[in-house]
A and B are shown apart, each in its own frame.
Chain A
Amino acid sequence: MTDIPSADVHIETAVLAPPGPKLFSPGGGFLRAVAVTAWFGRHCIVAGVDMDMPAGSVTSIIGPSGCGKSTFLRTLNRMHELTPSAAMAGEVHLDGVDIYAPGSRPSLMRLRIGMVFQKPNPFPTMSIGENVLSGLKLAGIPCGDKAAMTERCLTRAGLWNEVKDRLNAPAGALSGGQQQRLCIARSLAVSPRVLLMDEPCSALDPSSTMRIEETIREISAQVTVVIVTHNMQQAARVSDYTAFFLADKGEPGRIVEVGPTSELFNAPNDPRTEDYIHGRFG
């Protein structure tokens, strides 16, 4: 996984390598952002982001508040355009196909590129079991063996043992960490190619955070994970690749550096990256 050529070069200056056969592994989708720029109204949030998120790996996005990481993440599965006044430019390729291509349906793209949000938000009117299968129901996908599906998704999200005896209990009765894992299970049920996570642990305690990180490591074999985090240790622990975003005052956020996590943390190319990961600002 670590010898993918396109990701360990400095993207800003390097030409993106064409996706090799390895990038189309069955274990997840290969996501590529090309010159992604996003606005809210006239305010440009992020500009010119080129980035590869290789198949079957975990890519983390770090950077100080307001650098556009979350906005960038939301352009990756067309959630950005749900905000009124939002606009974007550039391309996002999933396995070589632009998800913003004319005629492509946002809901179909979101089915393939799922998202877990900062705040755990299981559907309050549904039980735990119903929550897991809600994505299939909502997307109108027929589901064969419901019990097996529920068990498989909850097991992958690391929640099965805790809830197997109370699948009919309301989802709101779970703790925050359990709710977030339920949301991950819910996202996995529709078998996405990519799972985007927007600070999934920032509302959770350390032990729940640890469980989620384990979950991320386990699911990354089958689904590409892109995670935005404020926590640099988390990025170092959980991800194969890391991208560092930064926004100068009054400027849109830009990508400063992207590369294998160990390289970016141990030998960053850019002095700003070094300053940030050593806590000198941000």
Chain B
Amino acid sequence: MAGTVPAPAPPAARKVGPSVGDAVERPLTIAAVVGAAMALLFAVTPLSGLVGWALCTYVGFVLADAFDCYRTDGSVLAKDRVATILVATAGLCTVVPLVLIVAYVVGKGLPGITTSFFTDTLEKVGPTDPATVGGARHAIIGTIEQVGLATALATPLGLLTAVHLAQSRGRLARVTRVLVDAMSGIPSVVAGLFIYTMWVVRFHEGFSGLAAAMSLSVLMLPTVARTAEEVIKLVPGGLRESSLALGAPEWRTTLRIILPAARSGLVTATVLGVSRIAGETAPLLMTAFGSDSVNANPWHGAQSALPLFAFQRVRNAIPTQIARGWAGALVLIVLVLVLFTLARVVAARGRKGLR
């Protein structure tokens, strides 16, 4: 194409699609109806203060906009508009608390983040030392080991369960599904108590990172299994059929065709499982117990973990200890985020060049 007639400048793109901005083009109507609605709401409802004002304005806005749209465009478009606004609001209501939580933890935790936080422990820290002394190295090591072990335990089991749930239609699969669903309802305290009585006390194994990992894997398994099941079900049935039509046995079809096709979704399932357990505190109290010094051996002896660290610091009445707790919470969030990103990158790299 180069060297021929120069291409004309592309025309400016026209703005298409609906926008909430339309409402602003009818300011008078909007203002009048919003005012009336607000007056009415303030007079009728017991709401007051900033929240009440915001709520009344919002309801007034929705009603006014719907009425305005109804007047000009009819009831179908008005309903569509109300639905659009409500859906957008619901989305906002989900995102805003999340952002607020993260921002709050960052604000509270950032002052406590120093290099010593990653290199030092609480072994030689006195109650009156400033927050910059000592660190959470022992807790970071504990969390990585416990979550890693729990993932190693729960992921293979969860994926196998998912394959069973998605591929077989027998009675056993139905029973399994009910049990897995019930399992996802197990309170984390119960999972911790279970391992405590069965492993820590009964088998005289004592507190350990392994015990913590076992209780965490109980919580992780149903999440991985049900998410992976849904992902496996999304693989087009045609792929399975054409593999079987080539004379492949079921197990090879699953291993070579279905699981690779579902790969990135399975990574997501695992990551969801990890984020489900990374912040668990209650089961750790009864299995890892907590410690102020480094115990890198997950098979034996009490270990700390970031959630445990945060919990035990924040319970103190001393402001410097509470600051350490917030820093621990921040590191935990960042750790999960890093894991999540890593998993995404790995999943994306695996299929580079294909698809």
Binding site for B on A (CB under 8 A): 77, 79, 82, 84, 107-108, 110-112, 114-115, 117, 119, 121, 123-127, 134-135, 137-140, 168, 170, 172, 183, 186-187, 190
Contact = CB atoms under 8 A, between A and B. Distances in A.
Given A110-B246, A111-B246, A125-B260, 11 more contacts: A77-B245, A107-B244, A110-B245, A115-B245, A117-B245, A124-B239, A124-B354, A125-B257, A125-B354, A135-B246, A187-B245
Interface string B212-241: 000000000000000000000000101101
A125 B247 contact: no
B355 A114 contact: no
23 contacts: A77-B245, A79-B245, A110-B247, A114-B245, A117-B238, A119-B238, A123-B242, A123-B243, A123-B257, A123-B261, A124-B355, A125-B257, A125-B261, A125-B354, A134-B243, A134-B256, A138-B252, A138-B257, A139-B247, A170-B353, A172-B355, A186-B246, A190-B246
A105 to B, nearest CB: 8
A248 B260 CA distance: 44
Interface of B is mostly: helix
Top 5 nearest A-B pairs (CB, nearest first) are: A111-B247, A138-B248, A135-B246, A115-B245, A121-B238
Q: Which of B247, B248, B354 has the most CB of A within 10 A?
A: B247
B351 interface: yes
Contacts of B256: 134, 137-138
A170 to B, nearest CB: 4
B47 to A, nearest CB: 55
Contacts of A137: 256
Contacts of B247: 107-108, 110-112, 114, 135, 138-139, 190
Interface string B246-277: 11110011001100110100000000000000
A127 B354 CA distance: 7
Contact of B241 (A82, A84, A108): A82
Given A137-B256, A138-B256, A125 B263 contact: yes
Contacts of B353: 168, 170
A154 to B, nearest CB: 16
A140 B252 CA distance: 9
Contacts of B351: 125
B169 interface: yes
A232 to B, nearest CB: 26
B303 to A, nearest CB: 40
A236 B42 CA distance: 80
Contacts of A125: 257, 260-261, 263, 351, 354-355
A171 to B, nearest CB: 8
Interface string B313-355: 0000000000000000000000000000000000000010111
